[in-house]
Amino acid sequence: MDTNMMRKNLEIRNPWWKDHKYIPREESLPKRDLYFELLDNLEHSLILNIVGLRRVGKSTILKQLIAHLVEKKTNPEYVFYFLFDYASQIKKTKFLDEILSFYFEQVIDNPAMLFKESEKVYIFLDEIQYIENWQAVLKKYYDLSNKRIKFIVTGSQSMLLKGKNRESLAGRIFDYYLPPMSFREFIRIKQAQVEVLNPYDLFDLPKLFGKLTQFDLYNGKKIYDLSREYIVSGQFPETLELRDINKRHNYINESVIGKIEEDCVNIFNIEKVDEFKLMVRYLLNNVGSIFEIINIGREVKASKKTLEKYIGYLKESYIFEIIYKYHKSLIKRGRVSKKIYTTCTNFICALNYYTEDHMNEVPQAFGKIIENAVYDALSLKYINGDSISFFRDKEREIDFIISKNNKQLPMEVKSSNNIKFSDLIAINKYLKKERLDFGIVVTRNQIEKKNINGNTIYYIPYYLILMMI
């Protein structure tokens, strides 16, 4: 290793070492909610692992945390940042070990990592999934320093972030999932002059309904208009800087979907690239539908085994999630029908170059898109993997069954105000059979409490569902 070259390389990545007044430009960018949570945990000893899709702001949060440390006069050389990249970095474990070893020996002149009680080193490692067995390297330095090193790492591939050696970090690491921006974050970062609801729990709806109704009366129109932009193109921080809708879609197609596909192809050695990309697009255009691998195989001309691997890669890349038909047995639930959703409705809209006007012009497509947006909110609110399922009995289906503390809440997503009695047969039967207190029908902008066949059903606009988190 060329010592001078390595030193220059690290100084370029860490300009605050030389210029103590240097503040990363990311400090001026809007801050995601997770930034404030990480800030509260910056002095704890655990390794912090930020995971999530590309371009949701993981690297920006690291730079904002670095700016915080520099501004509060932390020793600049005790703040270290390094970005790993598949195209330009060596993936071997030794590469990470050499970088850290060089840093402690040549930069801060403390090869034995003997720190005073008042000293702490902050090491930020970006996109660490490109390094094999990174967990073992971090464990070594973490243990040698007697917890005086604070590691904050990010990654975009769940499979590689867990890995077979993940257990070596048991008790030393805490994971944070950074999803695409929530509707609440979108409103705050966009600096929209509108009142927002406090987060709430759908199971408390009977107590909150009056408050929701009053809020909708005064703010519903503004919130509805904002929700259209959010669903179509407003879930990535950088898209808000682009006014042109086509530029937003191009950004999402190229910098998010395209990069995820590229990562999967490179990391998992996918040979039939066109086949893989065709399946990604097929799944994005069929969210919310019950799917069978064999049927997808007919569409994209691929084997069941290959498609199962592809879907696994995409789940681990945070682009898709799967829910199952409700069954009281969790074991049997995994063997029954399933539906797929994307973690970001902007993907569907970017792929098809939908605008906000298309919400009225293509109602069938946007029915599924709004259903997906509702699912994304539910999945973040009720984070237990078994908390959200769907119900299907012959030809009748209920979009979501939410489970919490041995309680159930059925939800139908209609995304319009033209709801017929026949649309409610399934949810009415389910409420009566399970003796549940109430159900929810998600509408476009209708809010109402109804008694139908002795069952209480709340009509709630989809944009108020998005505001529960």
Task: State residue 161's pLDDT score.
Answer: 52
Task: State residue 302's pLDDT score.
Answer: 87
Task: State residue 360's pLDDT score.
Answer: 87
Query: For helices 205-233 and 183-190, what crossing angle results, to 10°?
Result: 60
Task: State residue 90's pLDDT score.
Answer: 60
- Splitting the chain (469 residues) into consecutive groups of 10 residues, what average pLDDT does each group show? 87 96 95 97 93 94 98 96 77 90 96 90 94 91 92 80 63 92 96 92 97 97 97 96 96 96 88 94 94 82 91 92 82 72 98 94 90 97 83 90 94 90 93 97 96 96 97
Task: State residue 160's pLDDT score.
Answer: 54
Shortest CA distance to 174 belongs to which of 50, 60, 84?
50
Return the domain boundaries, the chain.
3-178, 184-466
Placement of tokens 């809708």 in the chain? 245
Task: State residue 383's pLDDT score.
Answer: 82
Task: State residue 380's pLDDT score.
Answer: 94
Q: Are 344 and 376 in contact (CB under 8 A)?
A: yes
Burial label for 151, CB within 10 Å (0-12, 13-18, 19+), is buried
Read off the tokens for 454: 């002795």
Could you say which of 3.40.50.300, 1.10.3330.10, 3.40.50.1820, 3.20.20.150 is the CATH number of the domain covering 3-178? 3.40.50.300
CA distance 206 to 242: 41
Task: State residue 263's pLDDT score.
Answer: 87
Phi/psi at 409 (5° precision): -140, 110
Task: State residue 285's pLDDT score.
Answer: 94
Task: State residue 1's pLDDT score.
Answer: 60
Structure pTM? 0.93
Query: For helices 363-381 and 345-352, what crossing angle results, to 10°?
Result: 160
